[in-house]
């Protein structure tokens, strides 16, 4: 997978050189380049914003630099990802969809956002997805890019040492993951649930599933409706 990020704060994306994302880049699993939007300005002040038509507070990102940036970076295989509070919810399902694509271009906006014509023009030549991390507003989209790139990269084959880690985690199969424990067996007078030390893998799997169902029902009943529950799950909920 190739990822390009265009930002007026490229240094914000430095964490993409670290840890498992940095490892994925080193292994060639992820090809990633960060660009400074001001590269595509053509005035002495390297201007990227202006006042909004129709009035109102703040500034809007001008279309010209973005247009020239996308002209240079985009290919016929590109998908443009625009982090915005006005976007579709970014979920694990969306992360899997994006992880299957060949080329993502991230356009994190600043100020009051990017001139809408940039997105409309881009949509004439590539898929455009406006995505939201949640119902809150950030100073800009760069933090959202870090989150989205991490969520996608960990799904790429060869990045996680043990692909089984993806099977039991939250939101896989529509449920929240069960609580996890490690040594010591007792900590501050709190024992690890006995079943997890039984060695009975069938009972352990059933216990974890039951815990996931109960935790999801308690914390995210909205997810339960879409989850693929079996009769045993329903029995757990009705106990």
Nearest-approach distance from CB 8 to ligand JBN, in angstroms? 14
Decide if residue 138 touches ligand JBN (CB under 6 A). yes
- The percent of the chain in helix, strand and coil, each rounded to the nearest 5, is 40, 20, 40
In the complex with ligand JBN, the residue whose CB is nearer, 111 or 207, is 111
Decide if residue 137 touches ligand JBN (CB under 6 A). yes
Q: Label residue 65 left, alpha or beta by phi (over 0 means left) and psi (-120 to 50 means alpha).
A: alpha
Q: Do 25 and 17 touch, CB atoms closer than 8 A?
A: yes
Nearest-approach distance from CB 136 to ligand JBN, in angstroms? 5
In the complex with ligand JBN, the residue whose CB is nearer, 146 or 224, is 146
Q: Which of 133, 151, 196, 229 binds ligand JBN (CB under 6 A)?
A: 133
Q: How far apart are the first and last CA of the chain?
A: 46
Nearest-approach distance from CB 18 to ligand JBN, in angstroms? 22
In the complex with ligand JBN, the residue whose CB is nearer, 129 or 209, is 129
For the segment 33-92, give every residue that binds ligand JBN (CB under 6 A).
83-85
Q: How far apart are CA 217 and CA 124, in angstroms?
A: 42
Q: Label residue 61 left, alpha or beta by phi (over 0 means left) and psi (-120 to 50 means alpha).
A: beta
Sites of contact with ligand JBN (CB under 6 A): 83-85, 132-134, 136-138, 141, 144
């Amino acid at each position: 997978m190739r990822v390009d990020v265009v930002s007026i704060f490229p240094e914000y994306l430095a964490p993409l050189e670290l840890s498992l994302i940095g490892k994925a880049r080193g292994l060639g699993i992820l090809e990633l380049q960060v660009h400074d939007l001001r590269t595509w300005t053509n005035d002495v002040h390297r201007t990227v914003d202006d006042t909004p038509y129709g009035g109102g507070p703040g500034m809007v990102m001008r279309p010209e630099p973005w247009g020239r940036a996308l002209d240079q970076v985009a290919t016929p295989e590109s998908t443009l990802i625009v982090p915005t509070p006005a976007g579709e919810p970014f979920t694990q399902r969306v992360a899997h969809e994006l992880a299957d694509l060949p080329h993502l271009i991230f356009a994190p906006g600043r100020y009051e956002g990017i001139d809408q014509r940039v997105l409309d023009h881009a949509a004439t030549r590539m898929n455009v997805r406006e995505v939201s991390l949640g119902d809150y507003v950030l100073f800009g989209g760069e933090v959202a890019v870090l989150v989205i790139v991490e969520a996608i990269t960990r799904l790429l084959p060869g990045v996680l040492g043990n692909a089984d880690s993806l099977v039991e985690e939250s939101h896989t199969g529509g449920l929240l993951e069960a609580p996890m424990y490690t040594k010591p067996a007792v900590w501050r007078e709190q024992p690890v649930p006995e079943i997890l030390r039984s060695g009975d893998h069938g009972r352990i799997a059933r216990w974890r599933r039951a815990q996931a169902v109960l935790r999801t029902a308690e914390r995210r009943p909205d997810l339960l409706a879409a989850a693929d529950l079996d009769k045993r799950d329903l029995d757990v909920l009705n106990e």
